[in-house]
Amino acid sequence: MTEPVAVIGVGMHPWGKWGRNFVGYGLTAARAALDDAGVAWSDIDFVVGGETVRNGYGGYVAGSTMARALGWNGARVATCYAACASGSAAIEAARTRILAGLCDLALVVGADTTPKGFLAPNAGERWDDPDWLRFRLIGATNPAFFGMYARRRMDLYGADPADFAMVKVKNARHGLHNPNARYRGEVTAEEVAASPVVCDPLRLLDICATSDGAAAVVLSSIDTARRLGRGDVRIRAVSTVTPRFPNTALDLPDIATDSAASVAAPDQGFRPSIASAAYEEAGVGPDDLSLAEVYDLSTALELDWYEDIGLCAPGEAEKLLHAGDTTLGGRIPVNPSGGLACFGEAVPAQAIAQVCEVTWQLRGQAGARQVEGAQVGLTINQGLFGHGSCVILSR
């Protein structure tokens, strides 16, 4: 087991489609997290930004952009890019610096302003860029990959689109009273079924939107947290693992998988291996979880995650859902925040937002969406090009 670090402050700028500069959102989230931690910006000695690639140079150097916005204080700085996993990569940078004894108080910020519609590659002709080529040669958008994963659940496990709709209905209900969620309204199964098909079998309401938003956390050593009277919530593990060769599940944004002609595929695929590494580091297992925040880019993908984090065996996720196990009040609520279904994705902020939610849950501050007696929480997602992202927190 690895020594824990403390989460002493969390903060967010509400998700939405505000159309403003990402720096302002980040500033709001950072100040909220500092305020929550009860520490001054001048005491932060390491600041890490989650990079955004759609906001010019300021986004490429998000760490220093945030430091400048808060007012240069001389802190050391880093910026992390790992696509959807950028936030946990940034948290990992702060955690390891704290554990190495090189830093006392670290601020981690992720903020984004996103365009309308499908996430598209940056402009220009790039015939050697797989992310560009999948659009140019095939027209394979992100939802096309989600559609293929969903279809496998149907053809291999007998899942039905009504199961997928049920995930949306659940998450919409979870997010109803979340002040930071973009969508706060009940959604019925009929509404999901009546929304247009985007990438068969997924409909518009099965697929998460892209949003503006920001999230921030303040981390410290356990000793420092105790001194500040804020040692309640601890990060027990951060898993940023890469796949093992050959990775035989088609991953966004690749046109092809690895070949398993000469080396057999590993016993465990990439997604389950992300959680396994975190469980091992934290010294806990799926049965210890009180809640999980998983990356529901699509409704069907949330069901894949149930299996990948070990809540049930492959093909059993629909049963878990129908039994109410993953609904608030159930055995292991998943996405009590409302998940991406209620937030929409703000890429560099999302993994940090997951950690904010688990922190509120473990403190008992989640209001109407509180998981009673929450002791251990897990966040998980996956970034393009082989980025694992899983954080385990406990009281």
**Interface characters, 307-346, with another protein (x: CB under 8 A):** ----------------------------------------
Distance CA 48, CA 78 (A): 5
Choice from 1, 40, 120, 194 touching another protein (CB under 8 A): 120
Residue 390, CB-side half-sphere exposure with 13 Å CA sphere: 26
Distance CA 149, CA 302 (A): 11
Cβ closest to another protein, residue 121 vs residue 310 = 121
Choice from 35, 190, 200, 287 touching another protein (CB under 8 A): 200
Q: Which residue stretch of 173-181, 200-208, 342-350, 377-385 sits at the interface with another protein (rule: CB under 8 A)?
A: 200-208
Cβ closest to another protein, residue 197 vs residue 368 = 197
Write out the binding residues for another protein, residues 155-174 only, by CB under 8 A: 155-156
At residue 295, φ and ψ (nearest 5 deg) are: -80, 90
In the complex, what is the shortest distance from the CB of residue 178 to another protein, in angstroms, rounded to a whole number?
A: 29
DSSP output for 313-363:
-TT-HHHHHHTTTTSTTSSS-B-TT-HHHHH-B-HHHHHHHHHHHHHHHHH
In the complex, what is the shortest distance from the CB of residue 289 to another protein, in angstroms, rounded to a whole number?
A: 29
Could you give the angle at the alpha carbon of 212 between the alpha carbons of 208 and 215, nearest 5°? 100
In the complex, what is the shortest distance from the CB of residue 159 to another protein, in angstroms, rounded to a whole number?
A: 12
**Interface characters, 236-275, with another protein (x: CB under 8 A):** ---------xx-x-x---xxxxxxxxxx------------
Distance CA 204, CA 296 (A): 14
Distance CA 29, CA 346 (A): 13
Choice from 58, 121, 269, 364 touching another protein (CB under 8 A): 121
| The CA-based dihedral angle spanning residues 302, 215, 13, 47, taken in that order and rounded to the nearest 10 degrees | -170
CB 238 within 8 A of CB 91: yes
Residues near another protein, by CB under 8 A: 117-118, 120-121, 123, 125, 127-128, 132-141, 144, 147-152, 155-156, 196-202, 245-246, 248, 250, 254-263
